[in-house]
Structure 1
Amino acid sequence: MPSDARLLMVDKAAVEAVLQPDQVMTAVREAFVLHSKREGRVFPVVREALSTGGIFGIKSGDVASQGLLGFKAAGFWPSNRQVGGEPHQATIMLIDPATGRPTCIIDGNAITTVRTGAAGALGLQNLARQDSTRVCVFGSGVQASIQLEFALRVLPALSEVGYVTPQRTRDDAFEARFQDRCKLVCATDPDAAVAASDVVITATPGGGALFDAQAVKPGTHLNCVGADTRGKRELPPGLLARARLFVDDREQATQIGETQWAPTTHCDELGDVFTGHITVNRKPDDITIFDMTGLALQDLTVARLIHERASATGLGASIAWPW
């Protein structure tokens, strides 16, 4: 009854206690499949600059057959660093589609981080050469770290990592996290690092091209994370035309992803690989790119997982929410 309604609130610590990489990959893969079959809807993205210097966005969608409805309010506030805070902020709300009432509010930062890492892993599993041994990572922050974590999980042959920071200097925390799992080198020449790699991962704020297009050798796969807003880019001009391009959502990628810089480039949606609508048939010299802008359905399927696990284990705080 309305008077008995309750709202579950799941904070960061509870989310991190529940998240398991394999389960997140399963949930994210389901989101790709739902999108490919058009059984899940992705609503238009809101992504706007604020007078405070932050960027605010909303990603939302639903899966009618599962009674799944919700949104993620998120963005980037660089000034948070000045007070020791995380610049990326995200909150997810699940809503009862029958009544419009919220059922669960979840700290979205950890979900965003891990679901993006899982999406990158699915891209690597299906698009990269499985004998890849060397990876170049642009960035050494939260997203660069999770992308490398998942890359090492799904590409067992990876053993050498060249990482590039904005200052071209070592990141001790990044190296400590991975030092027992691979050989790490802080690269000072981005073009040389790209040319020496089988896989390239770009996970930066998207302030401009990170390397020269000619540095990308045949057979390379690129996972591109940082372009998620109009005007952002990480890839150099001309590279998309040389590659086979995959996206999570075609329309979204042409609006806010790398694909915005060459919107007429043919691209395939990764979910169509999972449903068999397309096949990759990768040739040894193919250059492949996965332009990752993030699907609302990924947030929702992972949030549903959190909601179910938290409810079953007593994590989170359940409060009265009568109407």
Structure 2
Amino acid sequence: MRSDAQLLLLDKDVVESLLTTGDVLTAVERAFELHRLGEGRVFPLIRESLRTGGVFGIKAGDVQSESLLGFKAAGFWPSNRSQGSEPHQATIMLIDPATGRPLCVIDGNAITTMRTGAAGGLGLRALARPGSRRLCVFGTGVQARIQVMFALHMIPAIASIRYLTAARAADAGFESCFSDRCEISHATDANEAVSASDIVITATPGGGALFSADAVQPGTHLNCVGADTKGKRELPEGMLERVRLFVDDRVQARQIGEAQWTPDVACAELGDVLAAPEKVSRRPEDITVFDMTGLALQDLTVAQMLYERADKSNLGTRVPWPW
């Protein structure tokens, strides 16, 4: 037995100290490229409801040429809110593909938040109309905040934000995050807010349609985050039939994303757009949708970056793990 083997543990504080916007964007864009080339594999998704009221899932994949293998065990436990905790929970494990031994266990909450925000930012850069100035966001939680943060980073022209909440009440904390960057205001009429916007971001639990299909004006781009499980949706019926649809992964989007409701609608994968943006001719009147379900490769490329950086800097906790 190898008695000197160790397992590296990276907790929340270490992860957050190492995550930067630029590095995560680079890692996530690399994940899209690996997926496009077929060098990175996405394994069949596990996503199941629990008797506790939670939803548990596993996203796994590998990049054989880079000896990268791992998975994220994650889900949504709404009852955590009553305990003052975050309902989204995630843990990532990197594994040595040559031996099957675990290399690193990583708190996945911040990684999930950041990589999803980065994916949304890349979608906006590729698909939103240049010069888009008016943004509408549904939700004010962790994911809504990171989506808006990356939107402002990637689309400097954004000058105003209108946000909507399930309780139809203003969120002072949310406003304070962005008030020094642009005009921000609470809206109560979803259709009016959508119709007046160039970009719409939906970042809710996916409990149902958030607005009417006819509220979306020609030229609008939508990033849809909340549909990540069978039965979830944020877009109204009939919406996808009149848009240009983009996804992170066709199979996964048709299983758990907005595309589950119209699986026969043609779609393109964002990785192809990022690799050759000149091949995507966006007419000013086109309505575009990025159906975001989250790739295992995004978690793994970010996790690999953190693992290498933590190992080099001697960060984290090393636990004896003989074999």
Same-fold call, TM cutoff 0.5:
yes
Q: TM-score, normalised by structure 2?
A: 0.99
SS of equivalent residue, structure 1 residue 305: helix
Aligned-partner Cα distance in 1 for 2:248–2:2: 38
Question: What residue number does 2:310 align with?
Answer: 310
Aligned-partner Cα distance in 2 for 1:150–1:253: 22
SS of equivalent residue, structure 2 residue 3: helix
SS of equivalent residue, structure 1 residue 3: coil
Q: Give, in angstroms, the shift of residue 2 of structure 1.
A: 2.4
| Letter of the 1:65 counterpart | S
List aligned pairs for 1:122-201, cutoff 5 A.
122-201=122-201
Aligned-partner Cα distance in 2 for 1:183–1:312: 42
Report if aligned partners of 2:244, 2:289 keep a CA contact under 8 Å in 1: yes
Question: What residue number does 2:99 align with?
Answer: 99
Aligned-partner Cα distance in 2 for 1:97–1:226: 32
Q: Give, in angstroms, the shift of residue 312 of structure 1.
A: 1.5
Aligned-partner Cα distance in 2 for 1:278–1:236: 30
SS of equivalent residue, structure 2 residue 51: coil
Question: What residue number does 2:221 align with?
Answer: 221
List aligned pairs for 1:1-323, cutoff 5 A.
2-276=2-276, 279-323=279-323
SS of equivalent residue, structure 2 residue 57: strand
Identity between Structure 1 and Structure 2 (%): 66
Report if aligned partners of 2:126, 2:277 keep a CA contact under 8 Å in 1: no
**Which stretches in structure 2 are left out of the alignment for 5+ residues?**
none
Aligned-partner Cα distance in 1 for 2:204–2:277: 32
Aligned-partner Cα distance in 2 for 1:274–1:67: 24
Q: Give, in angstroms, the shift of residue 277 of structure 1.
A: 9.1
SS of equivalent residue, structure 1 residue 16: helix
Aligned-partner Cα distance in 2 for 1:153–1:257: 25
**Which stretches in structure 1 are left out of the alignment for 5+ residues?**
none
Aligned-partner Cα distance in 2 for 1:149–1:275: 24
SS of equivalent residue, structure 2 residue 279: coil
Report if aligned partners of 2:120, 2:223 keep a CA contact under 8 Å in 1: yes
Q: Give, in angstroms, the shift of residue 278 of structure 1.
A: 8.1
Q: TM-score, normalised by structure 1?
A: 0.99
SS of equivalent residue, structure 1 residue 162: strand
Aligned-partner Cα distance in 1 for 2:263–2:278: 20
Q: Give, in angstroms, the shift of residue 273 of structure 1.
A: 1.5
Which shifted more, 29-38 or 269-278? Answer: 269-278
Cα 1:278–1:231 shift into 2, 3 Å: farther
| Letter of the 1:260 counterpart | Q
Aligned-partner Cα distance in 2 for 1:131–1:278: 17
Q: How many residue pairs end up in the alignment? A: 323
Q: State the Cα deviation string for residues 241-298 of structure 1 (Å, max 9, x = none).
A: 1110000000000000000000000000001113339822111000000000000000
Cα 1:78–1:321 shift into 2, 3 Å: same
Q: State the Cα deviation string for residues 166-190 of structure 1 (Å, max 9, x = none).
A: 0111011101111101111100100
Aligned-partner Cα distance in 1 for 2:160–2:276: 33
Q: Give, in angstroms, the shift of residue 18 of structure 1.
A: 0.2
| Letter of the 1:139 counterpart | G
Aligned-partner Cα distance in 1 for 2:277–2:213: 30
Aligned-partner Cα distance in 2 for 1:2–1:264: 52
| Letter of the 1:314 counterpart | N
Report if aligned partners of 1:272, 1:278 keep a CA contact under 8 Å in 2: no
Aligned-partner Cα distance in 2 for 1:169–1:203: 17
Q: Give, in angstroms, the shift of residue 58 of structure 1.
A: 0.2
SS of equivalent residue, structure 2 residue 315: coil
